[in-house]
Amino acid sequence: MMVLLWILLVTIIDGLVAFMGAFSLFMKEKTIQKILFVLVAFSAGALLGGAFLHLLAESLESLATTNAFLYLITGFSVFFLMEKFLYWHHCHEGRCEVHPYTSLILLGDGLHNFIDGLVIAASFLVNPGFGLVTSIAIISHEIPQELGDFGVLVYGGMQKGRALCFNFISQLTAVAGGVVGFLIAGAWNFTLLLPFAAGGFIYIAASDLIPELHKETSMAKSMIAFAFFLIGIMFMLGIKLVFGG
């Protein structure tokens, strides 16, 4: 029961991240860009650190190496298809290019968040420390994504209040995923989800976050980004050393 409470708590916090977009209403554009730049760099490092040091490492303890990497490639490919065909974009600017189908963005994001919930449930069922690590990696990625998604929805024609509401509903599918993951724990091998999620994390970091950092032409700011990228990796390493798993 305690594990279920942890899963519910973390997935609800993940859902509340949807309201991060509201803070952008009270910030200057330059301030938003500076915050996002640091968050994107940190998130990229945290996602890669979580993928390799935690999710993949944990899966290799119980899965054959070839199988683990095949599931990793599958996860990478699924996230690629989600972005390609459901217009699931991670925009890290206050205003983005017009997305013609905001409903598809919400649908794709909802599916992604449901999978996040499954991954969080699987991680807490391994052990609480591992669940915390995975949750931090997921939420650190969600913050810049939700800031961007809010801008996309408003730019696409939604009223600000409506955009926050629908974005929150989409984000709450993580709670549903967490509950479903807990309920079917005894009927399915959750270890398979770990390399799958690692593939998704690697795709997000390499395809969406790191390219955003390459848009910065200033050498000084690029070094700051690289520093926060390393901090993200070291943060995940530190949690591994403290909690194990």
- Give the whole-angstrom CA distance, residue 133 versus residue 30: 31
- Give the whole-angstrom CA distance, residue 190 versus residue 123: 8
Contact present, 20 and 164 (Cβ < 8 Å): no
| Per-residue confidence (pLDDT) for residue 76, from 0 to 100 | 92
Counting Cα atoms < 13 Å in the Cβ hemisphere of 240 gives 19
Global pTM reads 0.69
Contact present, 9 and 120 (Cβ < 8 Å): no
Q: Is 182 exposed, middle or buried (0-12, 13-18, 19+ CB in 10 A)?
A: buried
CA-wise closest residue to 43 among 235, 221, 239: 235
- Give the whole-angstrom CA distance, residue 182 versus residue 8: 10
DSSP state of 62: T
Residue-wise burial string across 59-91, b where 16 or more C-beta atoms lie within 10 A, e elsewhere = bbeebeeeebbebbeebbebbeebbeebbbbbb
| Per-residue confidence (pLDDT) for residue 19, from 0 to 100 | 81
Instruction: Give, for all 245 residues of the chain, the pLDDT tens digit.
Output: 788 899 999 999 988 888 876 766 666 767 767 777 787 788 788 888 888 988 888 889 889 999 999 999 998 998 888 777 655 444 444 444 444 446 656 766 777 788 889 888 888 887 788 788 888 878 876 776 666 666 666 656 677 778 788 888 888 899 999 999 888 876 667 678 788 888 988 988 888 788 888 888 888 888 998 999 999 899 888 877 776 65
Q: Tell me the CA distances in angstroms from 13 to 16, 135, 194, 212, one per residue in order.
A: 5, 10, 21, 26
Dihedral of the alpha carbons of 97, 102, 107, 112, in degrees to the nearest 10? 20
Q: How many residues does the chain have?
A: 245
